[in-house]
Amino acid sequence: MIKTEKSSRESVTENVNLVLPSHANALGTAFGGTIISWIDITAAICAQRHSSSICVTASIDALNFLSPALVGDTVSLKAKVIYTGRTSMMIHVDVTAQNLKDRTPRKCADAYLTFVAIDEQRRPKAVPTLKLESDAERIEYELAAKRRESLLAQKAQPQSYNP
Ligand SMILES: CC(C)(COP(=O)(O)OP(=O)(O)OC[C@H]1O[C@@H](n2cnc3c(N)ncnc32)[C@H](O)[C@@H]1OP(=O)(O)O)[C@@H](O)C(=O)NCCC(=O)NCCS
């Protein structure tokens, strides 16, 4: 039976990567694009687990790189659904880097992404409502609702370039 309501616990997705020399720039730190790709895939799996559907990335919002990840570090990503609309889901991804010698985790990046669930005809399809289980989740949900409002208002603005 398809669930109409799901908690974020049911789709939390964790992923660990090792920064290899092939991921690095001339400074020996991971390329932003590599980290973005890890963020996107971890969030996509989370959205697909929540919706039990194929999902596409509609937007990546407020992506911040806070500290570099060095070659040899492990990079851990944790993705969690924080908001659901009718067919869309907002996912928060937290990224931490860890040096294998001292093992102190450093916050490396975080991001908010919106995914849309897609049916066989590639049309947006309804997703289970997010079941909020704590006050922290309720606050996060309210903040995400505001974030989504400003995202959609921005999308509605006519885009023009007047040099
Ligand atoms: C994302 C996409 C499916 C939305 O299609 P659409 O025709 O605009 O569909 P709708 O207007 O019905 O919007 C569907 C949902 O997406 C949300 N949405 C659309 N564009 C969005 C954006 N830029 N940011 C956040 N949410 C967005 C809408 O608010 C709506 O949410 P809701 O159902 O929860 O209220 C379509 O724009 C698309 O296919 N984009 C390309 C996706 C892609 O190729 N991604 C990269 C590879 S995965």
Summarize pLDDT for 115-141 with one digit per residue, the tens.
Answer: 999 999 999 999 999 999 999 999 999
| Beta pairing, strands 88-98 & 5-7 | unpaired
Question: pLDDT by residue (tens digit) across 4-44?
Answer: 999 999 999 999 999 999 999 999 999 999 999 999 999 99
* Dihedral over Cα of 35, 41, 45, 51: its sign: positive
161 falls within a domain: no
* Dihedral over Cα of 38, 39, 40, 43: its sign: positive
d(CA 27, CA 54): 37
Question: pLDDT by residue (tens digit) across 50-81?
Answer: 999 999 999 998 899 999 999 999 999 999 99
Q: Which atom of ligand 1 lies nearest, measured to the CA of 61?
A: 24
147 falls within a domain: yes
Pocket test for ligand 1, best of 116, 122, 147, 159 (most atoms within 8 A of CB): 116
135 falls within a domain: yes
162 falls within a domain: no
61 falls within a domain: yes
Structural domain for 11, as ranges: 5-156
Q: 13 has which bridge partners? A: 79
143 falls within a domain: yes
163 falls within a domain: no
Q: What is the pTM of this model?
A: 0.94
26 falls within a domain: yes
Number of folded domains that form the chain: 1
Contact (Cβ atoms closer than 8 angstroms) between residue 53 and residue 88: no
What are the pocket residues of ligand 1 if the criterion is a CB atom closer than 6 Å to any ligand atom?
56-59, 85-88, 114, 116, 124, 151-152, 155
CATH, residue 83: 3.10.129.10
Give 121 Cα–ligand 1 centroid separation in angstroms: 15
Measure CA of the first residue to CA of the last residue in the chain; give whole Å. Answer: 55
